[in-house]
Structure 1
Amino acid sequence: MAERQERAIRTRESILEAMASLFIEVGYEAATIAALVERTGLTRGALYFHFPTKEAMARGVLARAVTREGILPQTHKLQEWVDLGLLLAYRLPREPMLRAAVQLSVDPRARGLFGTRWPDWIDLGEDLLVEAKERGELLPHAVPAEIARLAVGAWTGVQLVTEALPDRLDLSEEIARLYQLILPNVASIGVLAKLDTSPYRAERLLGPAADADAAGKPLT
């Protein structure tokens, strides 16, 4: 029984990964079940057993978008908030599921059908910023809800522009610059000097996972 459940979980994951790749390559509207059948080698019945519709697959991809993976407890909550954005910037080019989730979030057709996960990212960021405010890490005028909302919008804009530019700037470096512009306007002076906004911070936080990714090898 346990083996069967594990096999079902692996199959479900492989379906989501294959569909995520299709969403990235051709967009939500053009991604078809026929193409998914060809890519996975599964029958339509097997696909529909796990996901009854393409929309359900898209929702499954979006469900993986919001994560605190890699975020470790820090002396300052504001650092954890920065880490949230830096980690996403590092992982996005390397993880098709995340890339597909972002693409679905900006696709008008997909967004009209099942919305986006941006509100969840905003809520996650706001929770950290509220704690930072309570600890005196933010300037008196800084409003956590506003910072969280505008930061997610700015992050998304940077990602889309970076991807579209012909010279393909490094997303981690661009997001690091974004935080370097935002923080002096919201962080208290004493905390600001202690924050790490290096574009290499996410790689250090992920540790062995990042090393394995860079080497193209699975973790053992």
Structure 2
Amino acid sequence: MQQRAVETRQLILEAAAEVFDEGGYKAARISEIMHRAGITQGALYFHFSSKLDLARTVMLAQRDSVVLPPGPDGLQRLIDTTLLLAHELQTNKLLRAGVRLAVEQEEVGFHDDSPYREWAEVFRGQLAAAAERGQLRSGVDVERLAMLLVGCYTGVQHFSKLSCKRADLPDRIADLWQYMLLGIAPPQVAADMIVSTEAPLLAAG
């Protein structure tokens, strides 16, 4: 029974992600989520107290919906992570819905910056490793740079979504790194970094 409950909850999250991703929070209907999940109203409300509770859970699940690329911690793994996210945002409905709800959350009715802070912590960890390996310029503040990178990434992906439904997002993130590397890494380190927009290369590590 416990396993069934876990599976039902995941079905609800995936169905909700589809609906929230397609039309946003306000247009989403609980009846449509129930239909796509193939569950009853009672089953849905057993796991989630309201549409708002469900939306917040989807938003907070975005980090867990992505497996980070392999490789040693540092600047290259950070670059690979952001490019992998670009590809995931083209296909991963749970991630896409979580990102959309995070951007629209003031319209939804909650205020929670934890999704941004979680990604900032992921980025900070890789930047800290990069600093230890001498991959960053002297004076780079990894905490502030991590927050800046999250802000830049949020803006770039949102612009790409509006302009072409994220079809060019990997290219735009690659452009972001081509310019950012000039400011944060020593010249030889920047030259050694691989900024590839090809998903199979990222999967291969």
Same fold by TM-score, threshold 0.5 exceeded?
yes
Query: Residue 25 of structure 2 corresponds to which residue in structure 1?
Result: 28
TM-score, structure 2 as length reference: 0.89
Give the aligned partner of residue 211 of structure 1: none
Query: C-alpha distance in 2, partners of 1:156/1:71?
Result: 20
**Conserved? CA contact 1:62–1:116, under 8 Å:** no
* Alignment check: 8 A CA contact 2:16 2:54 kept: yes
Q: Give the conservation status (yes or no) of the 8 Å contact 1:78–1:137.
A: yes
Distance 1:167 1:100 in 2: 13
Deviation string for 1:179-219 (max 9, x for gaps)?
1111111012232122111111x432325xxxxxxxxxxxx
Alignment gaps of 5+ in structure 1: 208-220
CA gap of 1:39–1:82, structure 2 versus 1, over 3 A, is same
- Structure 1 stretches of 4+ with a deviation exceeding 3 A read 113-116, 166-169
Cα distance, 1:85 vs structure 2: 0.7
Matched residue SS, 1:23: helix
Q: 2:85 aligns with which of 88, 97, 109?
A: 88
- Call closer, same or farther: CA 1:65–1:185 in 2, change over 3 Å: same
Contact 2:89 2:166 in 1 (8 A): no
Q: Does the 8 A contact of 1:139 with 1:186 survive in 2?
A: yes
Q: Check 1:120–1:113 CA distance in 2 against 1; reply closer, same or farther (3 A cut).
A: same
Say yes or no: does 1:8 pair with 2:5.
yes
The answer to whether residue 116 in structure 2 is matched with residue 118 in structure 1 is yes
Structure 1 length-normalised TM = 0.83
Does 2:62 match 1:65? Answer: yes
In structure 1, distance between residues paired with 2:63 and 2:108 = 17
Aligned to 1:50: 47
Letter of the aligned partner of 1:53 in structure 2? S
Q: Is the 8 A contact 2:157 2:166 kept in 1?
A: no
Q: Percent identity?
A: 37
SS at match of 2:49: coil
Name which of structure 1's ranges 81-90 and 158-167 shifts more when overlaid on structure 2: 158-167
The answer for the alignment partner of 1:186 in structure 2 is 184
Contact 2:18 2:93 in 1 (8 A): yes
Q: 2:201 — aligned with what?
A: 204
Structure 2 residue identity aligned to 1:146: R
- Name the structure 2 match of 1:161: 159
- CA contact under 8 A between 1:82 and 1:179: conserved in structure 2? yes
Find out whether 1:79 has 2:79 as its counterpart. no
For the 8 Å contact 2:160–2:167, the answer to whether it is kept is yes
Contact kept? 1:70, 1:205, Cα under 8 Å? no
Unaligned runs of 5+ in 2: none
Figure out how many residues of one structure are paired with residues of the other and give that number. Answer: 202
- How many Å separate the matches in 1 of 2:84 and 2:109? 24
1:137 is paired with a residue whose SS is coil
